[in-house]
């Protein structure tokens, strides 16, 4: 129609206006544009095991191509329930307590939408994985942040117990715990998790745990919140196969919890995606039921990658917080960026990508106040050795 603008104005709903484009997509785009080695977005630059891919191809050929049940294929739900029993000693009914989702991302969205009413409070540790805050906003919840602060002495990130206690009140519905933690690489200790569990019980709060890095632990061990006293009934455990099997694009995830918590997840899941790709569920079931030595081998590989990149970054003057888990390194860049006259994480990561040819994530978008992440940079080391070596060679240009 003449005189009418062809695009509607302000078409993005207000609930998303604060979030913009995710930093992962933005940095990967910038990396491609500048031909930079991409240590920003966390995905392996090598493929997952061939036998898992073959299982998916076979499932397609065998005709597993129509909608599965909304909770997941019976084979995958059972494989998840059996693995859960082996890991925790807890029995879950695969039909009523396991929900297969499209990645952990969808499990998170379904959990928040299914559990949180407008005005309910959700406790988040920051820095946080970026989808949490957007999901809380989609549900109309209010996020309360508890910061993990870098401890120079301990070389790790810690929260203050009193700050956590103060974050819980009668409006708190959910606390989200991500361990092993992206982006800090922190693996929460039994003492820390015991306090979180006690607060949940005391305030009648539901815990949602994001355990996508459950198998990527180098130091210490992965503790599952659901196994702590009083927590089996009030914990919804979320995970996915992307990191464990180096198949991040498959987006097969799940939620494990009581029948009641599962009802909440499914209330949302049925209208979000309804189901998750059937043949990939068949392959996921095979992988989870019998991973062979694939996880141990991956862990060895990542341990070497972690040690290599941590040493190289320290040598360049970064203050590295050695990750106990995940495939990320958080480092303080100020000793390197200061002499270059660079002030913050966003500026430093842009400089790294465009001038040095190595892309990394500015962690500001993982904080409620982005300035709190200003002195940090996050590198992903889920890459082939030659990729990491090439990146380190380029980073030598940072030497004064
Ligand atoms: N949680 C965390 C902490 C992550 O780092 C990621 C990374 N992808 C996800 C959830 C999303 O998992 P998925 O790819 O299975 O959706
Ligand atoms: N989890 C990955 C990371 O933290 C990427 C996820 C994504 O691109 N949304 O880098």
pLDDT value of residue 153? 87
Low-confidence ranges of the chain (pLDDT < 50): none
Pocket test for ligand 2, best of 26, 27, 30, 41 (most atoms within 8 A of CB): 41
Whether 41 is in the pocket of ligand 2, judged by its Cβ within 6 Å, is yes
The residue with tokens 């695969």 is 94
Polymer length of the chain: 400
Taking the CA of 254 as reference, the closest ligand is 1
Task: Report CA(165)–ligand 1 centroid distance (Å).
Answer: 27
Whether 41 is in the pocket of ligand 1, judged by its Cβ within 6 Å, is no
For residue 139, give both structure tokens: 């549900």
Task: Report CA(130)–ligand 2 centroid distance (Å).
Answer: 9
Q: How confident is the prediction for the chain on average, in pLDDT?
A: 96
Whether 105 is in the pocket of ligand 1, judged by its Cβ within 6 Å, is yes
User: Measured between alpha carbons, how far is residue 345 from residues 26, 150, 182, 272, 309 in Å?
Assistant: 14, 16, 17, 35, 19
pLDDT value of residue 5? 61
* Ranges of each domain in the chain: 14-48+294-398, 66-289
Taking the CA of 208 as reference, the closest ligand is 1
Whether 182 is in the pocket of ligand 2, judged by its Cβ within 6 Å, is yes
pLDDT value of residue 366? 96
pLDDT value of residue 321? 98
ω into 112 cis (within 30 of 0): no
Answer yes or no: are the C-beta atoms of 329 and 185 closer than 8 Å. yes
Three-state SS for 204?
Answer: coil
pLDDT value of residue 19? 85
Whether 291 is in the pocket of ligand 1, judged by its Cβ within 6 Å, is no
Ligand 2: which residue has its CA nearest to atom 2?
42
* Contacts for 226-232: CB closer than 8 Å, 24+ residues apart: 226/88, 226/90, 226/256, 226/257, 227/88, 227/89, 227/90, 228/193, 228/194, 228/197, 229/197, 229/201, 230/197, 230/200, 230/201, 231/197, 231/200, 231/201, 231/207, 232/90, 232/258
- Which phi and psi (to 5°) does residue 74 adopt? -55, -35
Taking the CA of 182 as reference, the closest ligand is 1
For residue 112, give both structure tokens: 């928040």
CA of 240, closest atom in ligand 1 = 15
Ligand 2: which residue has its CA nearest to atom 9?
24
Q: First CA to last CA across the chain, in angstroms?
A: 60
pLDDT value of residue 2? 55
CA of 243, closest atom in ligand 2 = 1
CATH number, span 66-289: 3.40.640.10
Going by C-alpha positions, the residue among 109, 74, 116 that lies closest to residue 269 is 109
- Which burial class, exposed, middle or buried, applies to 117 when counting CB atoms under 10 A from its CB (0-12, 13-18, 19+)? exposed
Pocket test for ligand 1, best of 129, 133, 236 (most atoms within 8 A of CB): 129
pLDDT, tens digit, 9 for 90 and up, residues 196-246: 999 999 999 999 999 999 999 999 999 999 999 999 999 999 999 999 999
Q: Which residues pair with 239 in a beta bridge?
A: 254
- pTM more than 0.85: yes
> What topology is assigned to 14-48+294-398 in CATH?
3.90.1150
Whether 42 is in the pocket of ligand 2, judged by its Cβ within 6 Å, is yes
Task: Report CA(211)–ligand 2 centroid distance (Å).
Answer: 14
Q: Which residues pair with 235 in a beta bridge?
A: 207
């Amino acid at each position: 129609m003449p005189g009418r603008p062809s695009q509607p104005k302000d078409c993005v709903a207000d609930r998303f206006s604060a979030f913009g484009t995710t930093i992962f997509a933005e940095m990967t785009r910038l990396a491609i544009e500048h031909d930079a080695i991409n240590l920003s977005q966390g995905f392996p630059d090598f493929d997952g095991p061939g036998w898992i891919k073959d299982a998916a191809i076979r499932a397609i050929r065998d005709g597993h191509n129509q909608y599965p049940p909304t909770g997941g294929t019976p084979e995958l739900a059972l494989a998840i329930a059996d693995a859960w029993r082996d890991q925790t000693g807890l029995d879950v009914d695969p039909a009523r307590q396991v929900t297969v989702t499209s990645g952990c991302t969808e499990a998170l969205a379904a959990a928040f939408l299914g559990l949180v009413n407008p005005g309910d409070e959700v406790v988040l540790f920051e820095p946080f994985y970026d989808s949490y805050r957007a999901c809380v906003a989609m549900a109309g919840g209010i996020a309360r942040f508890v910061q993990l602060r870098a401890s120079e002495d301990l070389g790790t990130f810690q929260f203050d117990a009193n700050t956590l206690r103060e974050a819980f009140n009668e409006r708190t519905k959910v606390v989200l715990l991500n361990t092993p933690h992206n982006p800090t690489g922190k693996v929460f200790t039994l003492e820390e998790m015991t306090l979180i569990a006690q607060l949940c019980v005391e305030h009648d709060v539901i815990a949602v745990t994001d355990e996508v890095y459950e198998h990527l632990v180098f130091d210490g061990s992965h503790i599952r919140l659901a196994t702590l006293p009083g927590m089996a009934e009030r914990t919804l455990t979320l995970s996915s196969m992307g990191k464990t099997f180096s198949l991040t694009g498959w987006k097969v995830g799940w939620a494990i919890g009581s029948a009641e918590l599962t009802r909440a997840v499914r209330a949302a899941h049925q209208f979000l995606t309804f189901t998750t790709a059937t043949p990939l569920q068949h392959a996921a079931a095979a992988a989870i039921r019998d991973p062979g030595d694939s996880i141990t081998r991956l862990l060895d590989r990542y341990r070497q990658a972690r040690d290599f990149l941590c040493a190289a970054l320290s040598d360049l003057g970064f203050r590295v917080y050695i990750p106990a888990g995940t495939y990320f390194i958080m480092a303080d860049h100020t000793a390197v960026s200061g002499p270059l006259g660079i002030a913050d994480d966003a500026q430093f990561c842009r400089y790294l990508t465009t001038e040095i040819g190595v892309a990394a994530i500015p962690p500001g978008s993982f904080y409620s106040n982005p300035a709190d992440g200003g002195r940090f940079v996050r590198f992903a080391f889920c890459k082939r050795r030659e990729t990491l070596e090439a990146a380190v060679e380029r980073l030598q240009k940072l030497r004064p």
